[in-house]
Amino acid sequence: MATKILDLPEEEYMLPGNRACAGCSLGIGLRHILKALGGNCIFAVPASCLTVLGGMYPTSSVRIPWMNVVFPSTGAAASGLAAGLKAIGREDITVVAMAGDGGTADIGIQALSGAAERNANFLYICYDNEAYMNTGTQRSGSTPIGARTTTTPAYGKRQHQKDVPKIMEAHGIPYIATACPSFPTDLYDKVKKAVGKQGTRYMHMCAPCPSGWQFPAKDTVEMGRMAVEVGAVILYEIEDGAFRLTSRSKKLAEQGGLKALRDYIAPQGRFKGMEEETIDHMQAWINRRWQQCIRRDAEGQA
Ligand SMILES: Cc1ncc(C[n+]2csc(CCOP(=O)(O)OP(=O)(O)O)c2C)c(N)n1
Ligand code: SF4
Ligand SMILES: [Mg+2]
């Protein structure tokens, strides 16, 4: 049964205060991920906004063991941690690799793919703020079409996002899920489920970024909600090959479909001046993915 907000554990593994920007969704996401892990974990984190949030030695904003690793190495570093824990008989501790979209979709994909092919025993969480934010908002493989970044300044990015969960699915790993901090109990339940499994588990968490997406810091939760309601982010899980829509995405599928993409684009400065043709391309891309997901959800339940 799905967890309700009042059922979440009161124990906190994040300390008050961290170095992320005001309104960063990353802290909301990490807080619920750590609640689901119950503190029994070790993190491997490459260079990113998450490193900044975690704190600079000797200060830290989390109450868990945390290893900062080389940017392209996260999958390899987590594989090593898992092998080490196995050697000392401590497989009860969950190894969590947590990296940004640049560190996952582009620079870390080789180490991640190799680890997933070996079915190395860790949970990998990509938080997707849709650009290289920590170094000043450069485009990544996960930046959406039409978004302006410092490396796509004129017309915005010309390509669609790379579908990393789909790439991970091709590895035949036991668990894949998408999530968004604006739906914290869905995120919590998925991490809990992933922790109960062995082998490589992959989660892809949307991470609205007020600084890079250019919206007011107070609107972070609403921006994540809208991302799901227009279908820019679709909430699902694939458990041992079976696909299932979850949470708000499941409700949208049952109750009349997605909202208009323009409601999501208009409040974000990164999409300012986006050409009509590009909006149509993005809408068509979303519609195609949404129809695929609805079909797969129906098949998964047949
Ligand atoms: C090998 C290497 N290349 C580049 C960098 C510089 N660098 C540090 S953080 C970062 C951006 C990371 O982007 P992403 O993974 O999306 O995480 P975010 O900053 O968006 O949270 C880059 C390019 C580095 N530390 N190491
Ligand atoms: S740049 Fe974006 S993702 Fe990074 S800390 Fe700031 S709000 Fe968070
Ligand atoms: Mg990023």
Contacts 24+ apart (CB under 8 A), 145-149: 145/278, 145/281, 145/282, 145/285, 146/265, 146/271, 146/274, 146/275, 146/278, 146/279, 146/281, 146/282, 147/270, 147/271, 148/269, 148/270, 148/271, 148/272, 149/212, 149/270
User: Residues near 233 by Cβ (< 8 Å), separated by ≥ 6?
Assistant: 178, 180, 206, 224, 227
Q: Tell whether ligand 1 has an atom less than 6 A from the beta carbon of residue 49.
A: yes
Identify which of 124, 121, 129 has the alpha carbon closest to the alpha carbon of residue 85: 121
Domain 24-300 has what CATH class? alpha beta
Question: How much distance in Å is there from the Cα of 54 to the middle of ligand 1?
Answer: 15
Residue type, 86: K
Residues in the chain predicted with pLDDT less than 50, given as ranges, are none
| Cα 173 from chain centre | 17
Please tell me the predicted confidence (pLDDT) of residue 256: 84
Q: Tell whether ligand 2 has an atom less than 6 A from the beta carbon of residue 50.
A: no
User: Residues near 30 by Cβ (< 8 Å), separated by ≥ 6?
Assistant: 14, 50, 53, 62, 98
Q: Could you tell me whether strands 236-239 and 94-100 are parallel, antiparallel, or unpaired per DSSP bridges?
A: unpaired
Please tell me the predicted confidence (pLDDT) of residue 57: 85
Buried b (16+ CB within 10 A) or exposed e, 68-84: bbebbbbbbbbbbbbee
Look up residue 251 and give its two tokens.
Answer: 């409700």
| First and final C-alpha spacing in the chain | 20
Q: How far apart are CA 125 and CA 240, in angstroms?
A: 18
Q: How far apart are CA 111 and CA 172, in angstroms?
A: 16
Please tell me the predicted confidence (pLDDT) of residue 218: 98
Pick the atom of ligand 2 nearest to 53's CA. Answer: 5
- Under 8 Å between Cβ of 290 and 231: yes
Please tell me the predicted confidence (pLDDT) of residue 1: 82
Residue nearest to atom 5 of ligand 2 (CA): 20
Please tell me the predicted confidence (pLDDT) of residue 201: 98
Q: What is the DSSP letter of 71?
A: G
User: Residues near 103 by Cβ (< 8 Å), separated by ≥ 6?
Assistant: 46, 47, 48, 71, 72, 74, 126
Question: How much distance in Å is there from the Cα of 194 to the middle of ligand 1?
Answer: 26
Each domain of the chain, given as residue ranges in start order, spans: 24-300
Helix (H) or strand (E) holding 177: strand 175-179
Residue with tokens 């000797």: 58
Q: Tell whether ligand 1 has an atom less than 6 A from the beta carbon of residue 48.
A: yes
pTM: 0.98
Residue nearest to atom 6 of ligand 2 (CA): 21
